[in-house]
């Protein structure tokens, strides 16, 4: 199918041609006609599926063909959970609407509000905003929703996770009831379904991947170790597996800074993005990473939200996320637009509950490795369903400086996707291959028997009493130990 077949107008088709988009992605095929027809939409689409164009293109078309804005008015409003996503979605609107006579702007907290007010004065066709700042603009009388025709909630699950529910209630009160509403969410929890029920009228339901299934093109595996050895293990794997650029997720801002320092002390280029950094500093770090001036970008979940980095081969979960859904968002940073990606997690004993929550949500057991010399003193308990003994297979060694993009073992058995049958694997003694380095223990993946559910660590946070202001990191209080690496290779 082509974009022409979706009845998009010429200026949009020209733009898409210029961008090299040959055909619509599955979410676009379903969303574009529905939005053009004025329907409400409820879409389960992860980042990387092309969902932004799925709503931006038909919105731009409708705005072009129908009506004009007025002073302080906004005709289409896109609500997003974080500043980074706001910038990214705004950029998409700018790029897709390049040949159209429409005005768009972005508004989020943490920066001067005056230019945002000034942009609104003449009125806008599209505003991309985070909830907190939008309420401020509304409280100051800078914005009118009188002409609002379309509301988009992008990454709605994340908005609820960040405690924006109250803000959404306030905003929804202020919006006209007669409107088109589009709700996009990576996952569909019960809370999201409740929100959707109150918001959407007879929505077209779109599901492009099975709900709560991690991006299929991403190979996932984990290495168990002790918490204090994580920095050292990370450095070791960087060298041993010849990792190139990687986006590395940590739990806390402090943890991000500690890891950057550690990596820099080992001669690596690393930068951090987290909630304590100013918006320009975050964007600068991201740009440097995109230009490949920086090998390792260390990020907290909130700061990384909405990042779009082309062809990122590797995501490393230095810490597991405290909210299981974040795992899906994190690994969605790689394997984008059908490219192959890899997601590696370093897991210590006190993260086992988070691991279980992730495995329950994604309905898989993440293939597990141990690296010789880094075995955990505090064993990470098995997460395989009770009564089944996980298989341990021998792996041949990855060679130092071997494959880029972190193949766990050149010529070794790769951790494969979960086999369908869910048969009980047998335990086999793992022995490092003679004379070679070994990522020793491989526990064969299998289907998880438990039903999916939402499982939060106690410190994962929920709606807070105070209003979260646009994208601060909400990690717990513990970060990586910051233990000094004892040697360990450095990536070339
Ligand atoms: P999104 O899921 O909206 O974050 O988009 C993921 C990436 O896919 C972005 O870099 C888009 O530029 C790209 N993209 C979106 N639609 C298409 C398409 N139809 N063909 C090729 N690339 C696309």
Q: Which atom of ligand 1 is nearest to the CA of 21?
A: 20
Q: Which atom of ligand 1 is nearest to the CA of 337?
A: 8
User: What does the pLDDT read at residue 309?
Assistant: 64
* Pocket mutation for ligand 1, best pick of 19, 29, 45, 50 (most atoms within 8 Å of C-beta): 50
For ligand 1, atom 14, name the residue with the nearest CA.
50
pTM above 0.85, yes or no: no
For ligand 1, atom 11, name the residue with the nearest CA.
50
Give the residues surrounding ligand 1 with Cβ less than 6 Å away: 21, 24-25, 28, 47-53, 308, 336-337
Q: What is the pLDDT of residues 381-406, one digit of tens each?
A: 888 766 554 544 433 344 333 333 33
Cα torsion 328, 332, 338, 344 to 10°: value is: -90
For ligand 1, atom 8, name the residue with the nearest CA.
50
For ligand 1, atom 15, name the residue with the nearest CA.
50
Q: Which atom of ligand 1 is nearest to the CA of 45?
A: 2
Tell how far the Cα of 358 is from the centroid of ligand 1, in angstroms: 26
User: What does the pLDDT read at residue 127?
Assistant: 98
The fold adopted by the segment(s) 218-410+421-443 is Rossmann fold (3.40.50)
Q: Which atom of ligand 1 is nearest to the CA of 51?
A: 3
* Pocket mutation for ligand 1, best pick of 337, 338, 339, 341 (most atoms within 8 Å of C-beta): 337
Q: Of 3.40.50.970, 3.40.50.300, 3.40.50.1000, 3.65.10.10, which CATH number belongs to 4-207?
A: 3.40.50.300
CA-based radius of gyration for the chain: 23
Tell how far the Cα of 49 is from the centroid of ligand 1, in angstroms: 6
User: What does the pLDDT read at residue 278?
Assistant: 81
Q: Residue 25 to residues 18, 209, 392: CA-CA distances in angstroms?
A: 17, 12, 39
Tell how far the Cα of 193 is from the centroid of ligand 1, in angstroms: 26
* Pocket mutation for ligand 1, best pick of 52, 206, 338 (most atoms within 8 Å of C-beta): 52
Residues of the chain with pLDDT under 50: 210-213, 389, 391-492
Q: Can you give 147-193 as a three-state secondary structure string?
A: CCCEEEECCHHHHHHCCCHHHHHHHHHHCCCCCEEEEEECCCCHHHH
For ligand 1, atom 19, name the residue with the nearest CA.
24
Tell how far the Cα of 94 is from the centroid of ligand 1, in angstroms: 14
Q: Domain-by-domain residue ranges, the chain?
A: 4-207, 218-410+421-443
User: What does the pLDDT read at residue 391?
Assistant: 46
User: What does the pLDDT read at residue 304?
Assistant: 67
Asked whether the domain spanning 218-410+421-443 has the same topology as the one spanning 4-207, the reply is yes
Tell how far the Cα of 2 is from the centroid of ligand 1, in angstroms: 15
């Amino acid at each position: 199918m082509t974009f022409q077949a979706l009845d998009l107008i010429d200026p949009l088709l020209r733009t898409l041609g210029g961008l090299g988009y040959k055909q619509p992605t599955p979410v676009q095929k379903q969303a574009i006609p529905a939005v053009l027809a004025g329907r409400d939409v409820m879409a389960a689409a992860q980042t990387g599926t092309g969902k932004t164009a799925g709503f931006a293109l038909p919105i731009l078309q409708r705005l072009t063909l129908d009506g004009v804005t007025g002073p302080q008015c906004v005709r289409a409003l896109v609500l997003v959970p974080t500043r980074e996503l706001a910038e990214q979605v705004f950029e998409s609107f700018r790029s897709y609407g390049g040949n159209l006579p429409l005005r768009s702007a972005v508004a989020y907290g943490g920066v001067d509000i005056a230019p945002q007010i000034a942009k609104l004065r003449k009125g806008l066709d599209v505003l991309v905003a985070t909830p907190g700042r939008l309420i401020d603009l509304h409280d100051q009388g800078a914005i009118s929703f009188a002409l609002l025709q379309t509301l988009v909630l992008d990454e709605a699950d994340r908005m609820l996770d960040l405690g924006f529910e109250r803000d959404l209630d306030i905003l929804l009160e202020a919006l006209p009831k007669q409107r088109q509403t589009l709700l996009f969410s990576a996952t569909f929890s019960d809370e999201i379904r409740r929100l959707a029920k109150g918001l959407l009228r007879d929505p077209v339901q779109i599901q492009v991947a099975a709900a709560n299934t991690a991006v299929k093109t991403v190979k996932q595996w984990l290495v168990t170790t002790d918490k204090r050895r994580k920095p050292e293990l990370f450095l070791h794997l960087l060298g041993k597996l010849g990792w190139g650029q990687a986006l590395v997720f940590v739990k806390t801002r402090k943890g991000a800074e500690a890891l950057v320092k550690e990596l820099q002390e080992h001669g690596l280029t690393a930068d951090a993005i987290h909630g304590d950094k100013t918006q320009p500093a975050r964007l600068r770090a991201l740009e440097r990473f995109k230009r490949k001036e920086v090998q390792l970008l260390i990020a907290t979940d909130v700061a990384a939200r909405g990042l779009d980095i082309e062809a990122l081969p590797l995501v490393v979960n230095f810490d597991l996320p405290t909210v299981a859904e974040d795992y899906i968002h994190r690994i969605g940073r790689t394997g984008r637009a059908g490219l192959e990606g890899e997601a590696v997690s370093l897991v210590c004993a006190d993260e086992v509950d988070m691991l279980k929550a992730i495995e329950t949500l994604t309905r898989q057991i993440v293939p597990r490795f141990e690296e010789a010399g880094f075995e955990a003193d505090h064993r990470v308990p098995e997460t395989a369903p009770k009564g089944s003994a996980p298989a341990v297979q021998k792996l041949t060694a990855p060679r130092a400086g071997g494959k880029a993009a972190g193949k766990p073992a050149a010529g070794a058995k790769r951790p494969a996707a979960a086999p369908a049958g869910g048969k009980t694997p047998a335990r086999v003694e793992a022995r490092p291959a003679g004379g070679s380095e070994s990522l020793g223990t491989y526990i064969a993946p299998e289907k998880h028997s438990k039903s999916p559910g939402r499982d939060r660590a106690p410190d994962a946070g929920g709606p807070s009493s105070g209003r979260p202001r646009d994208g601060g990191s909400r990690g717990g209080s513990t970060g990586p130990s910051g233990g000094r690496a004892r040697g360990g290779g450095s990536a070339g």
